[in-house]
Structure formats: structure tokens, C-alpha cells
Amino acid sequence: MIISVASGKGGTGKTTVSTNLAASLDMPLKLLDCDVEEPNAHLFLKPDLSEPEPVFTFVPQIDKERCSGCGACVDICRFNALTLIAGKVLIFPELCHSCKGCLEVCPEQAVAEGHRQLGTTAAGRRGTIIFRHGCLRVGEAMSPPLINLLRKGVEPDELVIIDAPPGTSCPAIASMKNSDFVLLVTEPTPFGLHDLKLAHEAVKLLGIPCGLVINRADIGDGEVKRYAHDESLPILLEIPFARRIAEIYSRGQMLVDEDPQWRQVFITLFSDITEMVSAPKVSQ
């Protein structure tokens, strides 16, 4: 089972939920921190991380001697990573999505495989948890290829928890796709509700069952709960706005390690998710 922990906005507590959920379960699982622009799950989980390994992606290189300036590579590129000026092909590596279409269509075989570094990955363990995360290179815009690499090798019979990046753009979709369940984390504020609606609509388009965690649940108003009720979005957990929780978080510690009661809370959360995933689908 693949569980993605996602949100419409940053700072709602996705990492808190994903790390505590993983640490509460006494069973083999994988935790993937796919928030590659600012990975921080390792700060709380504290696995024995390996040395970072560089990750590269394809970008075309043009052999000027072979290139006839036909423009076939330019025509096939839907991301404007290639352009033809005065019979010469110019490359914009930052726009390349590494589809290799230019490599396939060039009649002169003037396109060769080049590479640029996307970032790094690292892996480690904490008890029964296998942990992996990625870190995007500063200035790099293409995070989905790095996210896809982190997710590569996930087996259907494994339990995998994914700490997804915030938002509803390509990185979030790349993290959530093919998940069995999406756990949306929000806060009861106008911003939280606005972005929750966006995230919920994206998950519905993906056709993935989902549930809701409300962090700092006792602030704000009741609009988030009203939305959840109207949308039949089950609220699986409410985390209070408490000084004790903030202190634990600020020290880089986890609730389930510091307070045994929270371990049972997250075990119950996992049981509820499992029950929802295994429930028979009701036809519309």
C-alpha cells in the first residue's frame, strides 16, 4: 500500500504526520521524502544516511558538423527547449523535460545524449524503516524526474509512506500518482481551507481515496470541518494547537517518541486508512 501525505499549502504539518505515522508502525516500510526542494523528514526521523549520490537527467547535445538545420528536433519539442536561429539549433537546458524526442527524430543523428545534474539522493534506515530522500540542485526547476527516481523500485506488496511536496502542480502530482490513499493535511484557517479545496479537487481528479488530518485543530473557525462534511471527506485525525507539541517539534523530535499516547493515535490512523483502502468500492 502506498500512502501519500499531501497538502495544498506548505507548513500544515505533512512531515509531522508522515514521520510520526511511519515511526509508530512496528513493521517494515519505506518512507520517501519527495519534497525535494526542501526535504526535512530526516531531521526528525534521524536515519543513518548514506553519502549523497548525484542524479543526472538527459539534455540534448547538438553535433554542429552533422546538423543540417532541418528543424525536426525543434518541431517535436513541446517545451521550447530547442529553437532554430539562422540554421543553428540552440538549446535551453532548463526547459528540457528529457523526453528524448529530439534524439529519435533527427535524420542526421546529430543529437547526442548530454546530461545535467538535477540534485542528489540519499538513503538510510531507522529500525524497520527504509528512508530515502532527494535534494534538488539550487536553481533547478525540474523536480518531477528526481521524484520519479525516488519512487522507482517501489513494489506493490510494500508499505510506502510518501511525504509529498505542497501544492497541486507537477511535483505534487508526481508524488501522489498511483497511490492507494492520500492523507490531506490542513489547518483551520482561510488559507488552509482555500488550498485544501485545490488539493482535494486534484486528488479527486486522480481518482484516489483520501482522508483529512486537521493540524492546530482548535484555532480558526469551523469552515474546514464544514467543507469536509459537505464533501464527504472523512476527518481521520485532529492535532491540537498545544505548546507541548510545538516544543517537541522545535527540538526535532517526534510525538510518538516523546508521548506514548500519540503512538496509539497514529496506529489508529493507519488502521482507519487500511480499512478505507480495503473497503468495497461503491458504484456511482
Query: What pLDDT was estimated at residue 218?
Result: 87
Query: What pLDDT was estimated at residue 282?
Result: 54
User: 219 pLDDT exceeds 70?
Assistant: yes
3-state SS, the chain, equals: CEEEEECCCCCCCHHHHHHHHHHHCCCCEEEEECCCCCCCHHHHHCCCCCCCEEEEEEEEEECCCCCCCCCHHHHHCCCCCEEEECCEEEECHHHCCCCCHHHHHCCCCCEEEEEEEEEEEEEEEECCEEEEEEEECCCCCCCHHHHHHHHCCCCCCCCEEEECCCCCCHHHHHHHCCCCEEEEEECCCHHHHHHHHHHHHHHHHHCCCEEEEEECCCCCCCHHHHHHHHCCCCEEEEECCCHHHHHHHHCCCCHHHHCHHHHHHHHHHHHHHHHHHHCCCCCC
User: 283 pLDDT exceeds 90?
Assistant: no
| Percent of the chain at pLDDT exceeding 90 | 89
Residue 11 CA: distances (Å) to CA of 40, 43, 277: 12, 15, 27
Average pLDDT over residues 38-52: 94
Q: How far is C-alpha 33 from the geometric centre of its chain's CA atoms?
A: 7
User: 281 pLDDT exceeds 70?
Assistant: no
Query: What pLDDT was estimated at residue 136?
Result: 95
Query: What pLDDT was estimated at residue 220?
Result: 80
The one-letter code for the residue type at 55 is V
Query: What pLDDT was estimated at residue 128?
Result: 94
Query: What pLDDT was estimated at residue 199?
Result: 95
User: 98 pLDDT exceeds 80?
Assistant: yes
**Each residue's pLDDT tens digit, 104-162:** 999 999 999 999 999 999 999 999 999 999 999 998 888 999 999 999 988 878 999 99
Query: What pLDDT was estimated at residue 141?
Result: 84
**Each residue's pLDDT tens digit, 193-210:** 999 999 999 999 999 999
Residue 143 CA: distances (Å) to CA of 3, 106, 171, 261: 20, 27, 6, 37
Query: What pLDDT was estimated at residue 169?
Result: 92
Domains along the sequence of the chain with CATH? 2-54+119-277 (3.40.50.300), 64-109 (3.30.70.20)
User: 284 pLDDT exceeds 60?
Assistant: no
User: 88 pLDDT exceeds 50?
Assistant: yes
Query: What pLDDT was estimated at residue 177?
Result: 92
Q: What mean pLDDT is reported for the chain? A: 93
| Percent of the chain at pLDDT exceeding 70 | 99
As beta bridge partners, residue 255 has none
Bigger pLDDT: 142 vs 17: 17
